[in-house]
């Protein structure tokens, strides 16, 4: 930040250099900073406040669907990861290893947790013996390490925070029901709490989670036209159950393997929030996850400083009962500097109050999303703030949904497909024959991948966008993060 004579430091124009704008917003809104460890990040208090609100809102949804939290070790024996061949192959390039402790070489190397299916599977094999022990519905909030070659703050870091749910069920049908239930938890959380519209669907065989039978996902569209995988829910079938002998005596007195699921979202959601809602002035945070929902900025000429501050403190005391509010009473910065800073930080509502407002018995509310100013009588303050917070939340979603709709294209012509990917980006809804060869070729030739096969897949006939054979599905393609 500059001194009191200037304004908040310039951020690169979003329209000029999207990648640099993204980094500028993170650094200058004090969400995160670079760690001395390559590929890792330090999440600063304001950024962690967003994560805490995400965690609280999601955790509430998990518990409402019967899940409980637990914690499992960060270190996993090498032999555990090696037991599930597809799983180890999928994660091998990203695994960090511990081979030494103090001055001694470890008898068995340890994996630093990239995901927890194996260690949790081992524990479940000890805890489950009867159908009466099922279902097991456990979630953990944790950090994981995946040694990424190319990193970007929040979107892809070598260490990140996430939640991972791991459940066990009696039947295949119950596991599939759970997988889809949690996908819908993510969909509703993203749309209702993060104000991010998403596509829900199934990943292709090539894109599914290593070791899963089926992977479902929610995909969001960023304002640079790239897609972001915002959450995944996996039906693991009995793959891990057979490897780790998670078996139970069923009602018919037969020994059977459980059916498992796993599902997760991570701190990359914060990157999604920045890119979906941010603008040339910086962040624009949905009220439900904003660390500060209302910032009170007193306008204090020297002659009335004490009077204005006292009224501003009263306003904060009233609003503390209904929202997350803070008072910016710093006297080393001008009101204009503060306005600029809190806009950069994306606070949904700015409340201005000065001597004239006090005399008129009102305050001024300013919306971060539209910049609209509203005079509000003091007696209507609480109701007006609640209404405006709801309106900002709805407005951000409507704006993001409009962008997604306007940037979703439908074509079965490969020439047009390539032109859209190259010149416009966005999502492309197109027919696909179901072959991995075409999927790989499209990616090699255009950089676009199949983001998902939508839940209510289009049944109309078509010819594959790449090879021209009869299509099995219409799917969404996009370049992605």
Return the CATH number at 428. 3.30.110.30
Work out the number of other CB atoms within 10 angstroms of the CB of residue 434. Answer: 16
| 53 and 81 both lie in a single domain | yes
* Predicted pLDDT of residue 8: 53
Decide if 284 is inside a domain. Answer: no
Provide the CATH number for the domain around residue 371: 3.40.50.800
Q: Is the pLDDT of residue 87 over 80?
A: no
Decide if 282 is inside a domain. Answer: no
Residue 452 structural domain: 408-478
Q: Where are the alpha helices (DSSP H) in 408-465?
A: 414-419, 436-446
| 159 and 239 both lie in a single domain | yes
What is the arithmetic mean of pLDDT over 262-280?
A: 98
- Among 363, 395, 427, the domain boundary falls at 395
Q: Where are the alpha helices (DSSP H) in 278-427?
A: 305-319, 335-344, 355-360, 381-406, 414-419
Work out the number of other CB atoms within 10 angstroms of the CB of residue 164. Answer: 21
478: phi then psi, degrees, rounded to nearest 5: -170, 160
What is the arithmetic mean of pLDDT over 322-334?
A: 96
| 216 and 310 both lie in a single domain | no
What is the arithmetic mean of pLDDT over 233-258?
A: 97
* Predicted pLDDT of residue 4: 40
* Predicted pLDDT of residue 463: 95
Could you tell me the two tokens for 238? Answer: 């009995």
Decide if 345 is inside a domain. Answer: yes
Tell me the pTM: 0.94
- pLDDT tier for residue 5 given thresholds of 50, 70 and 90: very low
What is the arithmetic mean of pLDDT over 314-325?
A: 98
| 109 and 246 both lie in a single domain | yes
Work out the number of other CB atoms within 10 angstroms of the CB of residue 369. Answer: 23
| 221 and 114 both lie in a single domain | yes
| 458 and 372 both lie in a single domain | no
| 271 and 300 both lie in a single domain | no
- Among 395, 421, 450, the domain boundary falls at 395
Decide if 257 is inside a domain. Answer: yes
Q: 432 pairs with which residues across the strands? A: 473
Q: Do residues 121 and 238 lie in contact, with contact meaning Cβ atoms separated by under 8 Å?
A: no
| 371 and 441 both lie in a single domain | no
Q: 97 pairs with which residues across the strands? A: 111
| 91 and 226 both lie in a single domain | yes
* Predicted pLDDT of residue 83: 85
pLDDT digits (tens, 9 = 90+) for 90-139: 778 889 999 999 999 999 999 999 999 999 999 999 999 999 999 999 99
* Predicted pLDDT of residue 1: 39
User: Please, is 103 exposed, middle or buried when counting C-beta atoms within 10 Å of its C-beta (0-12, 13-18, 19+)?
Assistant: exposed
Q: Do residues 226 and 232 lie in contact, with contact meaning Cβ atoms separated by under 8 Å?
A: no
Q: How far apart are CA 179 and CA 200, in angstroms?
A: 12
Q: How many domains does the chain have?
A: 3
**Cα-based distances in Å from 191 to 102, 254, 394:** 48, 43, 10
- Among 212, 242, 277, the domain boundary falls at 277
Tell me what percent of the residues of the chain surpass a pLDDT of 70: 98
Q: Do residues 233 and 216 lie in contact, with contact meaning Cβ atoms separated by under 8 Å?
A: yes
| 253 and 323 both lie in a single domain | no
**Cα-based distances in Å from 316 to 202, 322, 328, 381:** 47, 10, 10, 11
Work out the number of other CB atoms within 10 angstroms of the CB of residue 361. Answer: 9
* Predicted pLDDT of residue 9: 64
Q: How far apart are CA 230 and CA 407, in angstroms?
A: 18
Task: Report the range of poorest mean pLDDT among 210-214, 398-402, 465-469.
Answer: 210-214
* Predicted pLDDT of residue 84: 75
| 124 and 218 both lie in a single domain | yes
| 69 and 215 both lie in a single domain | yes
* Predicted pLDDT of residue 458: 66
pLDDT digits (tens, 9 = 90+) for 127-177: 999 999 999 999 999 999 999 889 999 999 999 999 999 999 999 999 999
């Amino acid at each position: 930040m500059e001194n009191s004579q200037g304004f908040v430091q310039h951020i690169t124009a979003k329209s000029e250099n999207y990648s640099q704008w993204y980094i500028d917003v993170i650094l200058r809104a004090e969400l995160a900073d670079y760690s001395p460890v390559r590929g890792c990040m330090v999440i600063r208090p304001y950024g962690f406040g967003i994560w805490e609100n995400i965690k609280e809102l999601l955790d509430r949804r998990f518990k409402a669907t019967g899940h409980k939290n637990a914690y499992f070790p960060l270190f996993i024996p090498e032999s555990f990861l090696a037991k599930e061949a597809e799983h180890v192959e999928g994660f091998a390039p990203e695994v960090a290893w511990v081979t030494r402790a103090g001055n001694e070489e470890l008898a068995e190397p340890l994996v630093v947790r990239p995901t927890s299916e194996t260690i949790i599977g081992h524990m479940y094999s000890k805890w489950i013996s009867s159908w009466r022990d099922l279902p097991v519905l456990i979630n953990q909030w944790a950090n994981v390490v995946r040694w990424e070659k190319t990193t970007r703050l929040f979107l892809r870091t070598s260490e990140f925070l996430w939640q991972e749910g791991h459940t066990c069920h009696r039947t295949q049908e119950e596991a599939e029901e759970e997988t889809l239930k949690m996908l819908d938890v993510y969909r509703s959380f993203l749309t209702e709490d993060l104000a991010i519209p998403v596509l829900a669907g199934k990943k292709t065989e090539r894109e599914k989670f290593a070791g899963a039978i089926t992977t479902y996902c929610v995909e969001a569209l960023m304002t640079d036209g790239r897609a972001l995988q915002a959450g995944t829910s996996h039906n693991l079938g009995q793959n891990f159950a057979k490897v780790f002998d998670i078996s139970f005596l069923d009602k018919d007195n037969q020994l059977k393997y459980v059916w498992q699921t796993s599902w997760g979202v991570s701190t990359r959601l914060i990157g999604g929030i920045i890119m979906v809602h941010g603008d040339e002035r910086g962040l624009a945070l949905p009220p439900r996850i904003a660390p500060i929902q209302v910032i009170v900025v007193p306008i204090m000429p020297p002659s009335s400083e004490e009077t204005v501050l006292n009224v501003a403190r009263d306003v904060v005391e009233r609003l503390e009962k209904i929202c997350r509010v803070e008072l910016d009473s710093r006297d080393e910065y001008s009101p204009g500097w503060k306005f600029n800073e809190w806009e950069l930080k994306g606070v949904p509502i700015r409340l201005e109050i000065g001597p004239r407002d006090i005399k008129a018995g009102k305050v001024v509310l300013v919306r971060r999303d539209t910049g609209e100013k509203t005079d509000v009588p003091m007696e209507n303050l609480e109701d007006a703030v609640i209404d405006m917070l709801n309106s900002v939340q709805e407005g951000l979603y409507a704006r993001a949904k409009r962008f997604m709709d306007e940037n979703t294209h439908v074509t079965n012509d490969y020439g047009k497909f390539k032109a859209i990917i190259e010149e416009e980006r966005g999502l492309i809804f197109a027919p696909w024959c179901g072959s991995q060869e075409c999927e790989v070729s499209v990616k090699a030739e255009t950089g676009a991948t199949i983001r998902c096969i939508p839940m209510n897949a289009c049944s109309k006939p078509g010819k594959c966008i790449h090879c021209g054979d009869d299509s099995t599905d219409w799917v969404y393609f996009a370049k992605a993060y």
